[in-house]
Amino acid sequence: MTDLSGNLTIVLLVLGLVTLTGVGSMIWAYQGGGSVAVLFLEVIPPPLTLEESSRRSFETGVRDYCSGDYKRAITAFSQVIKRSPDCPEAHHNYALAMANQRQDDKATAAFLTTADLYVKQDDRAGVDLVKSHLIALRQRKRDREARSTRF
């Protein structure tokens, strides 16, 4: 009887490990753990005309962004946007950080605001850059959808 209960315990432990591994893999795949690469590495530099307090927040955002702390970068760029709402570079970096946080709907809205601001400043290069970022977001969405249909 002792031998049977020992074998049963081993079998239950193995089944438990297999189950945990399977559930963990499914959660990992569902949350996108297989694609943890950051979509946008670059950051947009501050404009020369930015006032001092906004510039400090902007530079803080750039540092946080470059160190991979996108949540803090979002906060810093939000402060710049509050003080200087017509600064497309702040909106652009906010959108990039949102995208890197996988908040694609908010990133898309911010990219559209950014494009409008670049158009108002007649900055064609800025508009083209935003377009390329929106294309990259759309491609990531398509890739996710393709991966999810395989399961």
What are the extents of the domains in the chain? 2-35, 52-150
The CA distance from 147 to 113, in Å, is 30
The CA distance from 57 to 87, in Å, is 13
The CA distance from 55 to 30, in Å, is 39
Cβ 86 vs Cβ 118: under 8 Å: no
- Whole-model pTM: value is 0.75
Q: What pLDDT, in 10s, does the model give residues 80-108?
A: 999 999 999 999 999 999 999 999 999 99
How far lies 37's CA from each of 32, 45, 49, 115, 134, in Å? 10, 22, 34, 25, 17
Q: Tokens 């108002």 correspond to what residue?
A: 120
- The superfamily (CATH) of domain 52-150 is Tetratricopeptide repeat domain (1.25.40.10)
Per-residue pLDDT band for 51 (boundaries 50, 70, 90) equals: very high
